[in-house]
Amino acid sequence: MRLFFPQWRHSKAAAIVATFVVGACLVLLPFVASEIGNAWVRALAFAALYVMLALGLNIVVGFAGLLDLGYIAFYAVGAYMYALLASPHLTNNFPALAAAFPDGFHSSIWLVIPLGAALAAFFGVVLGAPVLKLRGDYLAIVTLGFGEIIRIFLLNLNQPVNLTNGPQGITLIDPVSILGVSLARPANFFGISLPSVYLYYYLFVLLAVVSVVISIRLQESRLGRAWMAIREDEVAAKAMGINTRNVKLLAFALGATFGGVAGAMFSAFQGFISPESFTLHESIIVLAMVVLGGIGHIPGVILGAVMLAMLPEFLRATAVPVQRALFGEVVVDAEVLRMMLYGLAMVLVMLYRPKGLWPAPEHGKQRPGTAENAPSASIV
């Protein structure tokens, strides 16, 4: 197969090298950031979560070619799932549960991760089933509506039965605990004391690396090739015997699992969640990460996620001092400047790098010295 698709090996090597380089940088950066405070480490932890979200959305948008503007709904499903299973909210509002669990719910991470993935996958199928025959703008509008429906449900499910506590959100969420070690407290390893934010950071980096490995394996599998066949020409893929309905549903379901796990980790990290964290704006930001980095290219998606996730913290640290030094006052607020740069970056990318900053290698184009350029053997 490598004779016919030599770029596969090259693409896989690039993805593996990018993963190790990014992982090494992420491991070393906290020690550099500790010189200026834990705010940068916290930003890096969120960057790792965004890498997971972007990789999940890349399965739907990049591999299968299905535009999804409601992806943040799966993030919300995972976050609320963990919040309900690891907080006193349910036992405080449902006497029957309080009698059955007098000590409250304190779910283990080993239960949360598979349950969050399974629940998000279920909602991915719920979204995917009605939209299998939609394409383009119609698909975007329906997925956008799905994301807003989930957010509005979370906002209003505080009556007549208080399930989500409405706009007030859910508080007192338990932190992640691994082998009896709570990540909410500092821990000592080989004489080195690591604050809580470092522990969460390393957990998120580990989950992001696992997500990268899963994405690589999916991309090179028969299922991944079926996704890309549908992306290029759905009619031709169906004519070749691909069950486009099931393959599309698998894209929505598997992409949603990444969002569900990331949402559960976000809920544990914050200790508080509310519907305001899962707006359309967040879906657009995750989509921008995929488009900016390189649709369908795992290293490019990682690059885009890290860049856009770290941009707010960078502007927060530099925009105000630089403007005061140049103009004597703050001319443009850091948040406004961030959105301006988002928009400018997307315009420039669409004009000059429509396939992203790190696009995927084009299959079918041979590099010098490969089989296509070699002299063909004579047929006897």
What's residue 310's pLDDT? 87
What's residue 34's pLDDT? 54
Average pLDDT over residues 14-20: 58
Looking at the structure of the chain, the number of domains it has is 1
The C-alpha angle 287, 299, 252, rounded to 5 degrees, equals 45
The reply to whether 134 falls in a domain is yes
Summarize pLDDT for 136-149 with one digit per residue, the tens.
788 889 999 999 99
The answer, yes or no, to whether residue 6 has pLDDT greater than 90, is no
The answer, yes or no, to whether residue 287 has pLDDT greater than 70, is yes
Domain that holds residue 68: 11-278
Q: Which residue has the higher pLDDT, 160 or 227?
A: 227
The answer, yes or no, to whether residue 32 has pLDDT greater than 80, is no
Summarize pLDDT for 292-342 with one digit per residue, the tens.
888 889 989 999 999 889 888 888 778 778 888 888 887 888 778 888 887
Q: Which residue has the higher pLDDT, 367 or 47?
A: 47
The answer, yes or no, to whether residue 263 has pLDDT greater than 90, is yes
The answer, yes or no, to whether residue 212 has pLDDT greater than 60, is yes
Kindly report the average pLDDT of the chain as a whole number: 82
For residues 294 and 356, is the Cβ–Cβ distance under 8 A?
Answer: yes
The answer, yes or no, to whether residue 27 has pLDDT greater than 70, is no
The reply to whether 88 falls in a domain is yes
The reply to whether 130 falls in a domain is yes
The reply to whether 379 falls in a domain is no
What's residue 222's pLDDT? 92
Cα separation, 1 vs 3, in Å, equals: 5
The reply to whether 119 falls in a domain is yes
Peptide bond into 160 cis (omega under 30): yes
What's residue 191's pLDDT? 66
What's residue 25's pLDDT? 57
What's residue 197's pLDDT? 86
What's residue 365's pLDDT? 52
Distance of alpha carbon 343 from the chain centroid: 20
What's residue 375's pLDDT? 45
DSSP 8-state symbol, 273:
B
The reply to whether 336 falls in a domain is no
Angstrom distances, CA of residue 88 to CA of 70, 98, 271, 301, 328: 29, 9, 12, 37, 50
Q: What is the DSSP string of 141-204?
A: HHHHHHHHHHHHHHHHTTSSS-SS-GGG-B--PPPPEETTEETTS-EEETTEEE-HHHHHHHHH
The reply to whether 179 falls in a domain is yes
Summarize pLDDT for 57-104 with one digit per residue, the tens.
999 999 998 888 989 999 999 999 999 998 888 888 888 888 888 777
The reply to whether 23 falls in a domain is yes
